[in-house]
A and B are shown apart, each in its own frame.
Chain A
Amino acid sequence: MADAPLRVLIVDDEAPARRRLRDLLADCAGALSLACVGEAANGREALELLHAVSADLVLSDIEMPEMGGLEFARHVLKLPQPPVVIFTTAHDKHAVQAFEVNAVDFLLKPIRVQRLLAALERVPRLKPLSATRLDALAPTARRFLSVTERSRVVLVPVEEIIYLKAELKYITIRTAEREFLLEESLTKLEEEFGHRLVRVHRNCLVARDAIRGFERRVGDEGDAHWEVLLKGITETLPVSRRQQSIVREIGRENQRGGETAAK
C-alpha cells in the first residue's frame, strides 16, 4: 500500500468546488502519494467513470442533480472492488447530524487542507459503508435500482420499472425492454417505493402508472381471479385473493384520472 498511490475521484456538480478539491489534493501530494484519477459532475457520471478507471477513494458532494451522493454510495457497492466514499457538504444540517450519529466520514466545505490530509491518511483502514448504514442516512427514495452485469453496474431508472417480482433468490425487474436480476428484499423495496409501486401479489409489486386495467379470468378448476393488464408489455400478472381490494381502488383512481384528462 505504501508504494501504490491513493487513487481519488472527485464528484461535485459545481465546477469551482471540483477545482478547489483538485488544488487541495495537489497540496496533499507532498505528504502522501496520491493521484487524482478523474472528476464527475454527479453520481451517475461518477459510476460511469468508475467502469473505466478504478479508485480507492471517492470524494462526493451530497446534493447533486440526477444522482446525489448518498444514492451514489449505495450503487457503488455493486462494483467488484468498491472504493471508499467520503462525503463533502457545505451545509446540510440533517445530513451532518446523520453522519455523526452513524460515524460516517464527511468533510465540511470549505475544506481545510489539514482535514483533507487526515481523511486521506485514514482511507486505507476504512471499509466501504454498508447498504444498511446508507439506508439510515438517506431519507428519500432512490432514483435508480442498480444491478451487476458482467462486473458492470447497470442503472435502472425507477420510473421505467413496470413490475418487480420475487423469484427464489432474486427479484426480477421488468421494464418495457428487458428484465434485470436484483438482490434485494421485496418488502424493503415496497417501503421505499410505496408511492410508486403497489403490491398485487405476495411476490409482486407493480408500478401504478403501468397498470392498464384488470381482467377477470376463470381457471381450469372454475376458480376465478383478476389479472393485471400492463402498458408496454403483453404479459399479465395475477392478483392474489388477499390483494383483491386494489382492483377496485386503482380502477376508481384510473377512472378519475381519465375524467380529469378528458376535462
Chain B
Amino acid sequence: MQPIIRQKTLGLELPDLRNLGTILRIVLAVNAMTAVAAVVREPQAELWTAQWLDMTAVVEPHLIVELAILYAISPWLARQTALLAAMVIAAITVIVGVGLHALIGPQYRDVPLAAMRHILLALCVYGALLFYFSLRAKALSPAIAESRLQALQARIRPHFLFNSINAVLSLVRSDPKRAETALLDMADLFRVLMRDNRELVPLADEIELCRQYLDLEKLRLTDRLQVEWHLNNMPGDALVPPLVLQPLLENAVYHGIEPLSTPGVVSINIFCKGGDVHAILRNPYRAEGGSHHAGNKMALGNIRERLKLHFDAEARLESRVRDAAYEVHIRMPYHRAPSKAAREAGLGPDATERPVRARVETNVGTGADRDLDGPALREARSGVSRG
C-alpha cells in the first residue's frame, strides 16, 4: 500500500507503457515537438521541413529503441514506486541518447543534432510527457471515473428487481428450496452491483455473475429464455472491468426475449484471439418497438466509456444487427490476473467473492436446482458447449 500513497503525494502517475493509446500519444507528441524545435532553429518556411527531416533521423531511432525497452521492462516498472520508475526512464533516455550518438557520430560528418543538445531536448520532452500523463491519469481516475461508475452501479432495472421478487414470492409456498436459492442468487448479484466496482476483476468472476443473473431471469421467464454458452476458449484469468457483460445480458433479455412469446436464444461466445479477449453476445432482434432503444444505447455508451477508462484505445465495443439477431462485440486486451494477487484477494477485503464460487459448486450437485436451469445452462455448467 505504501507506494500508492507516495505516488499520490508526488502526483506522478506512469501510464501503461504497453497500451496502444499510450504509445500512439508518445509517438505523436515527440514528432510534434521535434517539428516545433525545427521551426525554432529554422524559421524560414522553405527550409524548416528539411531541418525537421534531418532531426527525425536522430529522433526516430531514439524513440523506437526507447519505446521497445520500455515495452520490455513495463511490468517491472509497474512494480516500482512512481518516482523510481520515472528516474529509471530518465536514465534510459540519457543512455539511449548517448549510445545513439556514439553509434552514428563516426558515420556523419555533420550530425544534425548535437549530442548534448539532443539529450537535453529529449529530457525536456520526457518531462512534458510525464507531466501530461500524470495530469491525464488524475483527470480520468478519481472524480470523473468514480461518478460515472457510481451512476452505472445504480442502473439495474427496477423492472427486473420487482419482477424477480414477485417470481420468488410465487415459489415460497410450492418450492421453498428453489425460492431460497433464488434469494441467495439475488443477494450475490446485488452485493456485486453495490460494491466498489473500480478495480478490474477476473473474467471468470464476471461470467459467474452473469450465470446467477440469467438463472434469476430463467426463473421468471422459464423456457422462453434459452441460453447458449460458448466458453471453451475463454481465458478465465483475463482482467476485465466489473459488470462489463451483465448489463449487456440484461439488455439482451429485456429487448430480445421479453417481447417474444416463443422461446428465444441469448448466446454468449467468449474466446481469446491474437492476444485479445473477444466477447460476442447475441439475442433475437425485433425491428418494431423503438421505445426501449434509448436505454440500450445508454448502457452501451456507459460500457464503452468504462472500457476506454481502463484500456484506452486497445478495447473496442461494436454493436450491429445481423440475420435477425442483435450482436454486441467487445474486444479487450488480454491482461492476466496475477495468481498471487488472486490468492490475496481471497483472504483480503474481497473475501465476499469466495462464498459465491462455493455456492455455485454445490448448486450443480443438488437435484432441485437442475429443474431450475434449461438444458443449455446445465450443459454449460458441465463444460459442454452447443454448436
Contact = CB atoms under 8 A, between A and B. Distances in A.
Contacts of A65: 258-261
A202 interface: no
Nearest to B158: A91
Contact of A13 (B171, B174, B261): B261
Given A91-B158, A140-B291, A14 B167 contact: yes
B167 A17 contact: yes
Contact of A41 (B167, B174, B219, B261): B261
B170 A91 contact: no
Given A14-B221, A16-B219, A91-B159, A63 B258 contact: yes
B170 A23 contact: yes
Contact of B166 (A41, A63, A109): A109
Interface in A45-87: 63-66
B260 A90 contact: no
Contacts of B166: 14, 16-17, 20, 90, 109-111
Contacts of B261: 13, 41-42, 64-66
SS of A interface (majority): loop
B165 interface: yes
Interface size bracket, B side: 20 to 34
B169 A14 contact: no
A179 to B, nearest CB: 26
Interface string B167-183: 10111011000000000
A17 B222 contact: no
A19 interface: yes
A23 B173 CA distance: 9
B259 A19 contact: no
Interface in B55-98: none
A110 B169 contact: yes
A110 B222 contact: no
B170 A17 contact: yes
B220 interface: yes
Contact of A14 (B158, B163, B173, B259): B163
Contact of B220 (A14, A92, A140): A14
A126 interface: no
A182 B174 CA distance: 46
A109 to B, nearest CB: 5
A19 B174 contact: yes
A155 to B, nearest CB: 15
A42 B258 CA distance: 12
Contact of A19 (B158, B165, B170): B170
B324 to A, nearest CB: 16
A16 B167 contact: yes
Interface string B291-334: 10000000000000000000000000000000000000000000
A7 B357 CA distance: 48
A16 B162 contact: no
Contacts of B162: 90-91, 108-110
Nearest to B223: A15
A16 B171 contact: yes
Interface string A101-124: 000000011110000000000000
B89 to A, nearest CB: 54
A20 B169 contact: yes
Nearest to B254: A63
Most-contacted residue by chain A among B166, B171, B222 (CB, 10 A): B166
Contacts of B174: 19
Nearest to A19: B170
B170 A16 contact: yes
Interface in B210-231: 219-222
Contacts of B170: 16-17, 19-20, 23
29 contacts: A13-B258, A14-B163, A14-B167, A14-B222, A15-B222, A16-B167, A16-B219, A16-B222, A17-B167, A17-B220, A19-B170, A19-B174, A20-B169, A20-B170, A42-B261, A65-B259, A65-B260, A65-B261, A90-B159, A90-B162, A90-B166, A91-B163, A108-B162, A109-B162, A109-B163, A109-B166, A110-B165, A110-B166, A111-B166
Given A15-B222, A110-B162, 15 more contacts: A13-B261, A17-B166, A20-B166, A20-B170, A23-B170, A41-B261, A65-B258, A65-B259, A66-B261, A90-B158, A90-B163, A91-B159, A108-B162, A110-B165, A140-B291
